[in-house]
Amino acid sequence: MNEPAANFPYRDNDQQENDKTKPQPCPYHKYDDPSYATQAVYMYGDKARLSGKTICMATMQATFHHYNVHNMYGMKMSQSTAEIKSNGEDGEDLVPLIISQSTFPSSGRFAGHWLESTYAKWTDLKGSIIDVLEFNLFGIPYVGPDMCTLSGDMQEELCVRWLQLGAFFPLARIRSERGEFSKYLMKWSRAGQVARDSLLLRYTYLPYIYTQFYRAKYFHEPVIRPLFYEFPHDDETYSIDKQFMIGSGLLVTPILEPLTDTPSGYFPRSIWYNIYDEQAIGKRVLPSYQDVEVCPDGTVAIHARGGIVYPRQKPALTITESRKNPLSLLIAVNESMQSTGELFWVGDNETLANNSKCYALYAFYYTFYGKHHTLIITAQRP
C-alpha cells in the first residue's frame, strides 16, 4: 500500500506555519508560497505551506519542480508496482492487488484507493457513501474506508452499521492495531455475528460483484453507482446520497442513524425484490420513499432490480474456499417475465485474464411464457 506522507520538515510539530519571522526548512518561493490562498495540508488552512508533510515544492525531480509532479507521485508509483507485479518470477502474469492513499486520474487502471482513516462518528458513516460514489465516477472503482475504526469512542451500534454497509463497498477493510478489533468483537456479541453474516452475504454475491469489475475494465462503468446513473430521468435520484447501487441491479439501503432498525429508502420506478425472501415489493413500484423491513436481523437492506440475472455462490469462511462451492442464479424478472445477465469467471485467483484460457464470460437470458421456463446460457469472450 502506498501512503505518501512524511513527518518532515517538522517532526514534533506537523503544522508548518507560514511565518516569515521564523526559520523555515523550505525557502520562500512562488511554489511553496503561491500568491493565492490555499487549503494546503489537512486542517491547517491558509496557515500551512504546500511543503507541509512532504518535500519542498521547489525541489527538482529530473527536469520538473516537485510542485508540478507531486499529485502524480501516487499514480506513477502504482503504475510501476503494477508493471513489476504483473510479471512473476515464473513468467506468469499475476493479478496485483495494490491499494493507495494517493491517486490521480487513471490510477484506477493500476490500484484501488483506501479512503483516509475515519472516526467513530455517524457523520463519517454517511460520508463514506459519497466518497465511494465519487471515486467510482472518477474511474477508481476499487475503493473503501476502514470499517469500525478505533479512532474515537466507537460504540457497538455504530460498528454494527459500519460492518453492514462496508461489506458491500468494493474494498471491504477492517483496520486493527495489534488485534484490538478482535477484542471488541469478543466484547460485542452482536457485532461479531454481524461481521460474520455481512461478509458471508458479500461472499454470496461476489460472482456478481466481480463481474461488475469486468464491466469497469472493458466498458468503463462504475461498480458502485448513484441512483441517477441508472435512473437519469428521475429528478428525485439526483439528491440521493444515502443509497447506492452495485452494478445496474442491486440497491443498497443502509441504516445511517442511531436507535433505529428500519431504514427508509427511495425506490425508482421498477420491480424490486427483497433478496432475502425474493418477494417483490409490488408488481411495479411507483417512484416513492419507503420504510424497509430489514430481514434477517444483522443484514443490510438489499433489493434486486427486476430484469437481471444475478450469479451467486455458496459462501465459505474465505474467498478461496467459497470459489470451490457451487454457483447459482437469482433470476429477477421484469414485467415482461424476462431477465438477462452475465458472469465473468477467472479460473485462477492469481492468473491475469490476459490469457483467454484463464477466464470465461457467460451470458444469461431467461424468459417465462405460459407454463414454460427457458434459460439460455451462452459462453462468450470479452
The helix or strand, by DSSP H or E, that contains position 196, with its residue range, turns out to be helix 189-204
How far is 60 from 75, CA to CA, in rounded Å? 19
pLDDT in tens, 199-214: 999 999 999 999 999 9
pLDDT in tens, 89-125: 555 566 788 999 889 888 999 999 999 777 889 999 9
DSSP character string of 297-365: TTS-EEEEETTEEEEEE---SSHHHHTTSPEEEEEE--TTSEEEEEEEEESSSSB-TTSGGGEEEEEEE
Read off the C-alpha cell for 201.
452475504
Domain contains 28:
yes
Question: Cis ω on the peptide bond leading into residue 296 (within 30° of 0)?
Answer: yes
Residue 57's domain comprises 1-68
pLDDT in tens, 360-369: 899 999 999 8
Question: Looking at residue 12, what is its pLDDT?
Answer: 38
Domain contains 367:
no
Per-residue CA distances from 106 to 79, 129, 211, 225 (Å) = 10, 21, 20, 18
Domain contains 4:
yes
pLDDT in tens, 56-89: 899 998 999 998 988 888 899 999 988 887 776 5
Q: Are 282 and 275 in contact (CB under 8 A)?
A: no
Give residues with Cβ within 8 angstroms of 344, minimum separation 6: 210, 211, 213, 214, 359, 360, 361, 382
Strand 359-369 relative to strand 372-380, pairing: antiparallel
Domain contains 2:
yes
Domain contains 252:
no
Domain contains 140:
no
123 — phi, psi (to 5°)? -65, -35
Q: Are 100 and 112 in contact (CB under 8 A)?
A: yes
Task: Tell whether the model's pLDDT for residue 246 goes beyond 90.
Answer: yes
Give residues with Cβ within 8 angstroms of 113, minimum separation 6: 99, 100, 101, 103, 107, 135, 140, 142, 143, 171
Neighbours of 261 (CB within 10 A): 8
Domain contains 44:
yes
Question: Looking at residue 11, what is its pLDDT?
Answer: 40
The model's pTM: 0.87
Domain contains 54:
yes
Task: Tell whether the model's pLDDT for residue 178 goes beyond 90.
Answer: no
Total number of domains in the chain:
1
Burial grade of 174 (CB within 10 A; 0-12, 13-18, 19 or more): middle
